[in-house]
């Protein structure tokens, strides 16, 4: 997607985001096919270095903060917008002093299409505390392995998209010491996300 197309769909994305933030209620059934994707090995977490629009970002530079890590991609039709909207809603529930100690990292599993600039535009629609990260395919695969995320490319014959990326949909919560503290399932309600952040802040 080139910049003019991204600008053209911005109002639609904004409308979907508003609906997700204020009106939509998640249902228990998870219908998107990527929910059935087998997860990778048991997560251990750990530091990593990927690229953001502001330059390289090292996880260890965020010590002292709670970090939420989500693996997805900007062309994701439903699961990524839902989870990012819920995370953004949770951030709005935090007090300013709490929010100052939280970072959200959206790691693209589609580096072929998601460069740093595109990721910054995309995440900016949700919340300024959400940063998009990308990098070489092998670096992203290693980070995903450490955190137990799984993804695979699925060709879409006859589609203008060309392909989609099936991916798992957990949000990983890293404590202020850089340790993987917990994972949150798809469409975890904003109030539960906020509560999880607060619990890790207190423990940290």
Q: What local confidence, expressed as pLDDT, does residue 156 receive?
A: 87
Predicted confidence at residue 17, as pLDDT, reads 55
Tell me, yes or no, whether 116 lies in a domain.
yes
Q: Compute φ and ψ for 173, nearest 5 degrees.
A: -110, 120
The helix (H) or strand (E) run that includes residue 202 is helix 190-203
pLDDT reported for residue 39: 58
Residue 29 lies in a domain: no
pLDDT at 16: 53
Q: Where are the beta strands (DSSP E) in 109-145?
A: 130-133
> Quick check: is 103 in a domain?
yes
Query: What would the pLDDT profile of 115-125 be if each residue is shown by its tens digit?
Result: 999 999 999 99
pLDDT at 159: 78
Residue 189 lies in a domain: yes
What pLDDT score does 40 carry?
A: 54
Would you call 40 exposed, middle or buried from its count of C-beta atoms within 10 A (0-12, 13-18, 19+)?
Answer: middle
Model pLDDT, residue 161: 83
Residue 85 lies in a domain: yes
User: What pTM, to 2 d.p., does this model score?
Assistant: 0.83
Is the residue at 55 inside a domain? yes
The domain of 146 spans 3-23+37-203
115: in domain: yes
pLDDT of residue 152: 96
CATH number at residue 127: 3.40.30.10
Distance CA 138, CA 154 (A): 18
Please write the tens of the pLDDT for every residue from 90-148: 999 999 999 999 999 999 999 999 999 999 999 999 999 999 999 999 999 999 999 99
Number of domain units in the chain: 1
Residues lower than pLDDT 50 in the chain: 1-2, 5, 8, 19, 21-36
**93-113 CB burial, b ≥16 within 10 A, e <16:** ebeeeeeebbbbbbbbbbbeb
List the one residue out of 170, 134, 112, 142 whose CA is nearest residue 54: 134
Please report whether residue 194 resides in a domain. yes
């Amino acid at each position: 997607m080139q910049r003019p197309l991204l600008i053209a769909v911005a109002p639609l994305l904004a409308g979907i985001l508003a609906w997700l933030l204020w009106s939509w209620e998640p249902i228990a059934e998870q219908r998107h096919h990527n929910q059935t994707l087998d997860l990778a090995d048991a997560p251990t977490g750990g530091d990593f270095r990927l690229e953001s629009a502001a330059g390289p970002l090292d996880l260890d530079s965020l010590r002292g903060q709670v970090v939420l890590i989500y693996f997805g991609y900007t062309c994701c039709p439903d699961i990524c917008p839902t989870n990012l909207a819920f995370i953004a809603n949770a951030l709005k529930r935090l007090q300013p002093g709490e929010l100052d100690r939280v970072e959200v990292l959206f790691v693209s599993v589609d580096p072929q299409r998601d460069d740093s600039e595109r990721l910054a535009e995309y995440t900016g629609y949700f919340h300024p505390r959400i940063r998009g990260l990308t990098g070489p395919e092998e670096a992203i695969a290693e980070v995903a392995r450490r955190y137990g995320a799984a993804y695979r490319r699925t060709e879409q014959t006859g589609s203008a998209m060309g392909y989609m990326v099936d991916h798992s949909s957990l949000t990983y919560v890293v404590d202020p010491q850089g340790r993987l503290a917990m994972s949150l399932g798809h469409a975890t309600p904003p109030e539960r996300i906020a509560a999880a952040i607060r619990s890790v802040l207190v423990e940290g």
